[in-house]
Amino acid sequence: MTAMIDMQDARADIVKDAPNYKMIAENVSVFYDGIQAVKNVTMKFREKSVTSLIGPSGCGKTTFLRCLNRMHDMTKNARVEGRILLDGQDLYSKDVDPIYHRRKVGMVFQKPNPFPTMSIYDNVAAGLRLNGVKDRKILDEIVEDSLRMSYIWDEVKDNLRKPAMELSGGQQQRVCIARALAIQPEVLLMDEPASALDPIATQKIEETITELAKEFTIIIVTHNMQQAVRVSNYTAFMYLGELIEFDETKKIFTQPRNELTAKYVKGQFG
Amino acid sequence: MLTNKKGERRFSSDKIFKIAATVSGVYVLVIIALMVFQLYFESHAVWEREGLDFLIGSSWNAVEGRESFGAAPYILGTLVTALLAMAIGVPLSIGIAMFISQAPKFLAVPLGMLVDLLAAVPSIIYGFWGIFVFRQFLLDFVEYPLYDALGENSWIFLSAPFGLDIFTASIILAIMIIPTISAVSREIMMAVPHQQKEAAYMLGATRWEMFRISIFPYAKTGLIGAAILGLGRAVGETMAVTMLIGNATGPGAFPQSLFQPGQTMSSIIANEFIEASPASLHLPALIGVGLILLLVAICINVVAHILVSRMLKVKEGVVNA
Amino acid sequence: MMASTQKRAEYRLLFKQNVKRRLLINKIALGAVFCCVVLALIPLVSILFEVFENGLSALSVEFLTQPPGAIGSGEGGIGPAIQGTMIIIGMSSLIGVPIGIMSGIYLAEFGDNRLGRTIRFFNDVFMEFPSIVLGIFAFLTIVLLLGHFTLWAGAFALSLIMFPIVARTTEESLKLVPLTYREAGLAIGLKKWVVTVRIVLSAAKSGMITGILLAVARIGGETAPLIMTVLGSSQFFAGLDSPMDALPLRIWRLSLLPYDSAQAQGWGAAVVLIIIILAVNMGVRYYFATRKRKGLLSKLLGGYRK
Ligand SMILES: Nc1ncnc2c1ncn2[C@@H]1O[C@H](COP(=O)(O)OP(=O)(O)OP(=O)(O)O)[C@@H](O)[C@H]1O
Ligand SMILES: [Mg+2]
């Protein structure tokens, strides 16, 4: 009885909370071939904040992140349970096609994946063209702006027509970030965006993230604790598919409530 | 001493085994070379006699003393039927491959099997079905309507349809190459890395747009290879075409309208090879046609395999073609 | 340097509200794709339906065992054709299987070099050669060389279709055998060829049998190369130097006759042929499906070969 009332309360809470948060994930579970990889994760993301997801390899960070963009729709062996609200609207509602949401939620993947047959310019412009932007001048403007935001403009401005595949891995990743930014998303999901970058590019990307946080809601997966401390307002620690602790970054790293979290952020995991 | 002896023996029996395997491996190269040489050697009489006319001439007369052979109508017949089959078969096959590559497993697996089944049905059965079932259907529902509507104004559909013509043969060919092209295209599409598709979806692409901006550009070479592979099949296909194309000979076999009987390189060989006397030029002429067919097939398939294998190697372990 | 928040909001306004249209185009495209599938399945369904519908009623013990009656009489059967198809398959396998297996062993064990890659490539290309040209080649090589007719020409022609298939399936199934098997054999001092043959005979067996069966299914329906090498006949097998019948040849001949009875017999022969071929084909697939070795099967089928 009490449990049921609690749950109802929780529901009511979420609906009441909706205006305060950009995105809410409620009791999200993900199964691969029936095996649970994410277990009942509930998280709320404030507008214009940066949230870091940390945790050991294989703990389900990528898997959870992909739910926020309905990327699992395409994975034939994956099943998602639970509810995810974006601006108070159910992401997994049957009445709304996911492409409405995906326009609002940009994603940068763990491995750079530019379209290999397209030039740098066309890669960044691909999403704009889908959205019916044809005006050359506007395309040029947004492409440049996006490439600047991802700190690669100076490196590629003279050969925008070059195939994106001819760039280095780190450069490709930044083009992918630009590609995601070009569609002017409101939420940006980044899966270890800096893992293929050198320290200088990493630093610049971090600056971008801080800059973007003034108007985007950013959720970033990272293995780099310093990075989490530097860029994020909130940090979530995941372990074996469960959300162990989710709090302000400062608290997570200075006075974690959970023993596992403490061990992990101190680097004593093993 | 003993080990030395043993070592030598091991060396020799392994050596023999390796030689036997190598010889069997090289066999295919020898056969191909021998084939080209043999066909040329046995047809050189007709090349000597007709020269270039064998390629561009159109008379086909086997009467002794007035022998004259030109293969142009059959070469053209092969090209026209094969290209028409491609025009119909390639889009259909790509569509099937798209469906199967996207469908959930419970649909994709049986559908893939059905398409494979279509590939396993022998040519002769396509031909038999073509004559006794499909021909009438085509006549009633496609050829006559087309002829009535367009026949007077366009040369393509001129001449009253009879059902045993270039059109029917091409459609049968299209049906027959669909399994090949769709099976290869499916492999090619599935070899496109997941991350590519996700990149498109991330931008808010619909499924169709995902194909357009992600799969098609990535898989283009391979898909062209698949289509060319189908072209190779269409060019070499014999029985169904022989049974349905109407078998015209000489200048009359020039493809003029689609509703006219025609002849392909393979069908003229199937029709006339047994009757041809080895003493006359008739047999060398048919062997010459075979040589042209062989060279065309080799070129087409070499190109197709280069394109397809380049693409499929991308995803390790799918096909080691 | 970076666009302002306001600017960005402006950009968003520039995006066309075209999602409905795009979703409609998507639906149309996917509908067209589905139509392709339906269109392609119609002939298949029609062929299977017609062959079984018309063919099964023609079947009888007499039809399956007797030689053809007088032309147009509708009497007799396809006994010699069934027998001939079995004989020619047996003879072709006699040539094609050993060469194919040895060639596959070469490709798997010694083929990791330039020659090996060349052979593999031309092996694949050779698989697509027009079968009628193989028939001409076999005729020229065997009949003209020996100076007299022999069924070995037909067997040789079909073996040329067979061996590349067997070679590639053998290669693939050998490659699937874990290296440790080989190392274990070599470690206890066995010769390399003994180890290989052992592996061929045990671990890779099912893969190779698949290849052989698929090749048999393929040549069982081949007609074109038999036209000039087996010729066709109305009699039972009468020695290697006289013409023989085969199911595809019989179907062809019956299709050329203007009698309804011939057509009925043709359907009968067609159903026998298709049952043989589909049984072999489906049998192989079923065997692999039930044993959860689909990955192996698709490898063996080379992904895009019959
Ligand atoms: N497509 C899939 N099919 C089956 N299992 C999967 C799939 N993707 C991930 N998994 C499993 O789900 C679990 C979580 O994987 P996930 O990729 O989310 O981890 P992660 O936290 O992102 O790790 P990393 O830091 O190494 O990127 C892992 O155990 C993984 O093996
Ligand atoms: Mg990850």
pLDDT digits (tens, 9 = 90+) for A153-186: 999 999 999 999 899 888 898 999 999 999 999 9
Identify the contact set of chain A against chain C, taking CB-CB distances under 8 A: 97, 99-100, 103, 128, 130-133, 135, 138, 142, 145, 148-149, 183-184, 211, 214-215
Confidence of residue A119 (pLDDT cuts 50, 70, 90): very high
Rounded to the nearest 5 percent, the helix, strand and coil shares of chain B are 75, 0, 25
**Minimal-distance CA residue of chain A relative to C6:** A215
Closest atom of ligand 1 to A38 CA is 14
Q: Which of A76, A102, A106 sits opposite B105 (nearest CB)?
A: A76
Phi, psi at residue C64, to the nearest 5°?
-80, -20
Distance A176 CA to ligand 2 centre (A): 17
CA distance C196 to B17: 10
Closest approach of A252 to chain C, Cα-based (Å)? 31
Provide, rounded to the nearest whole percent, the portion of chain A with pLDDT above 90.
Answer: 55
- The 10 Å Cβ neighbour count of residue C297 is 18
Whether C303 shows a pLDDT value over 50: the answer reads no
**Within a domain: A77:** yes
CA distance B265 to B289: 6
The reported pLDDT for the residue numbered B2 is: 42
Q: Which of B20, B38, B93 sits opposite C137 (nearest CB)?
A: B38
Average pLDDT (C244-256) is: 94
CA distance A62 to A64: 5
Residues in chain C: 306
For ligand 1, whether the C-beta of A77 sits within 6 Å is: yes
**C258, amino acid identity:** P
**A266, amino acid identity:** K
Torsion of Cα atoms, A95 then A89 then A59 then A218, to 10°: 130
CA distance C119 to C213: 23
Whether C155 shows a pLDDT value over 90: the answer reads yes
Higher pLDDT, A11 or B214: B214
Nearest in space to B271 (alpha carbons), one of B286, B250, B251, B258:
B286
Helix (H) or strand (E) holding A1: none
Closest atom of ligand 1 to A238 CA is 21
Closest approach of B221 to chain A, Cα-based (Å)? 11
Nearest in space to A113 (alpha carbons), one of A24, A162, A72, A174:
A174
3-class state of residue A39 by DSSP: strand
Do C92 and C159 form a contact (C-beta atoms < 8 A)?
Answer: yes
Interface check B13 vs A, CB under 8 A: no
Domain ranges of chain C: 80-305
Phi, psi at residue A234, to the nearest 5°?
-125, 150
Task: Kindly list the residues from chain C whose CB atom is less than 8 angstroms away from the CB atom of residue A151.
Answer: none
The strand pair at B60-61 and B68-69 is best described as: antiparallel
Do A177 and A188 form a contact (C-beta atoms < 8 A)?
Answer: no
Residue range of the domain that includes A214? 7-265
Closest approach of C225 to chain B, Cα-based (Å)? 9
Residue to mutate among A65, A97, A100, A115, with most B CBs inside 10 A, is A115
CA distance A76 to B201: 15
CA distance B296 to C128: 12
Tally: H helices and E strands in chain B = 14, 2
For ligand 1, whether the C-beta of A62 sits within 6 Å is: yes
Whether A11 shows a pLDDT value over 70: the answer reads no
Distance A38 CA to ligand 1 centre (A): 9
- The 10 Å Cβ neighbour count of residue B108 is 17
- The 10 Å Cβ neighbour count of residue B295 is 14
* Angle between helix C260-290 and B105-120 (nearest 10): 140
Architecture of domain B74-320: Orthogonal Bundle (1.10)
The reported pLDDT for the residue numbered A2 is: 40
Phi, psi at residue A268, to the nearest 5°?
-105, 40
User: Lowest-pLDDT range, A78-87, A200-209, B8-17, B298-307?
Assistant: B8-17
Distance A222 CA to ligand 2 centre (A): 9
Contact B13 C125 (CB under 8 A): no
Confidence of residue A17 (pLDDT cuts 50, 70, 90): low
Q: Which of A35, A62, A77, A221 to mutate to test the pocket of ligand 1 (most atoms within 8 A of CB)?
A: A62
Q: Which of B105, B209, B218 sits opposite A130 (nearest CB)?
A: B209
CATH number of the domain encompassing residue A21: 3.40.50.300
User: Lowest-pLDDT range, A195-199, B133-137, C60-64, C132-136?
Assistant: A195-199
- In this structure, the residue with its CA closest to atom 11 of ligand 1 is A37
**Minimal-distance CA residue of chain A relative to B209:** A130
Task: Kindly list the residues from chain B whose CB atom is less than 8 angstroms away from the CB atom of residue C22.
Answer: 206, 209
The reported pLDDT for the residue numbered A18 is: 65
Interface check B184 vs C, CB under 8 A: yes
The reported pLDDT for the residue numbered B319 is: 32
Domain C80-305: which CATH class?
A: mainly alpha
The DSSP output letter for A243 is: E
Contact A115 B213 (CB under 8 A): yes
Confidence of residue C133 (pLDDT cuts 50, 70, 90): very high
Contact A184 C12 (CB under 8 A): yes
For ligand 1, whether the C-beta of A123 sits within 6 Å is: no
Distance C51 CA to ligand 2 centre (A): 55
Q: Where are the alpha helices (DSSP H) in B121-246?
A: 123-129, 135-138, 144-150, 166-190, 194-202, 207-210, 216-236, 239-244
The DSSP output letter for A119 is: B
Question: What pTM was estimated for this model as a whole?
Answer: 0.87
Do B296 and C132 form a contact (C-beta atoms < 8 A)?
Answer: no
Q: Write out the DSSP string of A148-213.
A: HHTT-HHHHTT-TTSBGGGS-HHHHHHHHHHHHHHT--SEEEEESTTTTS-HHHHHHHHHHHHHHT
**C22, amino acid identity:** R
Whether the CA torsion A204, A205, A207, A211 is positive or negative: it is positive
Nearest in space to B303 (alpha carbons), one of B241, B237, B230:
B230
Distance A31 CA to ligand 2 centre (A): 16
Longest Cα separation, chain A: 67
For ligand 1, whether the C-beta of A222 sits within 6 Å is: no
Provide, rounded to the nearest whole percent, the portion of chain C with pLDDT above 70.
Answer: 92
Average pLDDT, chain C: 87
Q: Subunits that touch chain B (at least 3 Cβ pairs < 8 angstroms)?
A: A, C
The burial class, CB within 10 Å (0-12 / 13-18 / 19+), for C293 is middle
Whether A86 shows a pLDDT value over 70: the answer reads yes
Distance A61 CA to ligand 2 centre (A): 6
Interface check B120 vs A, CB under 8 A: no
Closest atom of ligand 1 to A110 CA is 27
Report ipTM for this prediction.
0.90
Provide, rounded to the nearest whole percent, the portion of chain C with pLDDT above 90.
Answer: 56
C-alpha distance from residue A81 to each of A35, A73, A94 (Å): 13, 12, 14
A108 bridge partner residues: A190
Distance A193 CA to ligand 1 centre (A): 17
Question: Mean pLDDT per 10-residue run, chain B (321 residues)?
Answer: 48 84 95 96 92 90 84 95 96 95 86 85 96 94 87 76 92 95 91 91 94 94 93 95 92 88 95 88 94 96 90 46 26
Whether C269 shows a pLDDT value over 90: the answer reads yes
- In this structure, the residue with its CA closest to atom 16 of ligand 1 is A60
Do C225 and C135 form a contact (C-beta atoms < 8 A)?
Answer: yes
**Minimal-distance CA residue of chain A relative to C8:** A184
Q: Identify the residue whose tokens are 């992600």.
A: B214
Confidence of residue C196 (pLDDT cuts 50, 70, 90): confident
Average pLDDT (A107-136) is: 93
Establish, for the pair of chains B and C, how many residue pairs have beta carbons separated by less than 8 Å: 278
Do C171 and C143 form a contact (C-beta atoms < 8 A)?
Answer: no
- The 10 Å Cβ neighbour count of residue C256 is 10
For ligand 1, whether the C-beta of A61 sits within 6 Å is: yes
Tokens standing for residue C202:
């045990």
Q: Over chain C, what HEC string results? A: CCCCHHHHHHHHHHCCCCHHHHHHHHHHHHHHHHHHHHHHHHHHHHHHHHHHHHHHCCCCHHHHHCCECCCCCCCECCHHHHHHHHHHHHHHHHHHHHHHHHHHHHHHHHCCCHHHHHHHHHHHHHHCCCHHHHHHHHHHHHHHHHCCCCCHHHHHHHHHHHHHHHHHHHHHHHHHCCHHHHHHHHHCCCCHHHHHHHHHHCCCHHHHHHHHHHHHHHHHCCCHHHHHHCECCCCCCCCCCCCECCHHHHHHHHHHCCCHHHHHHHHHHHHHHHHHHHHHHHHHHHHHHHCCCHHHHHHHCCCCCC
A219 bridge partner residues: A51, A189
Closest approach of B316 to chain A, Cα-based (Å)? 18
The reported pLDDT for the residue numbered B3 is: 46
A45 bridge partner residues: A23
- In this structure, the residue with its CA closest to atom 9 of ligand 1 is A63
Average pLDDT, chain A: 87
Angle, vertex CA B137, rays to CA B131 and CA B138, nearest 5? 85
Contact C8 A132 (CB under 8 A): no
Tokens standing for residue B256:
């003029």
Q: Identify the residue whose tokens are 């403490």.
A: A262
The reported pLDDT for the residue numbered B155 is: 75
Contact A97 C16 (CB under 8 A): no
Phi, psi at residue B247, to the nearest 5°?
55, 60
Helix (H) or strand (E) holding A218: strand A217-221
For ligand 1, whether the C-beta of A32 sits within 6 Å is: yes
**Minimal-distance CA residue of chain B relative to C123:** B28
Per residue in C6-65, pLDDT (tens digit) is 788 888 888 878 889 999 999 999 999 999 999 999 998 999 999 999 999 999 999 999
- The 10 Å Cβ neighbour count of residue B12 is 11
Q: Write out the DSSP string of B54-122.
A: HHH---EE-STTS-EE--HHHHHHHHHHHHHHHHHHHHHHHHHHHHHHHS-HHHHHHHHHHHHHHHHS-
**Minimal-distance CA residue of chain B relative to C285:** B113
Contact B21 C50 (CB under 8 A): no
The DSSP output letter for B204 is: T
Q: Which of A41, A53, A59 to mutate to test the pocket of ligand 1 (most atoms within 8 A of CB)?
A: A59
Nearest in space to B258 (alpha carbons), one of B272, B266, B270, B246:
B246
CA distance B43 to B296: 16
Whether C142 shows a pLDDT value over 90: the answer reads yes
Interface check B82 vs C, CB under 8 A: no
- The 10 Å Cβ neighbour count of residue B76 is 18
Task: Kindly list the residues from chain A whose CB atom is less than 8 angstroms away from the CB atom of residue C12.
Answer: 184
3-class state of residue A89 by DSSP: strand
The strand pair at A105-108 and B68-69 is best described as: unpaired
CA distance C267 to C61: 16
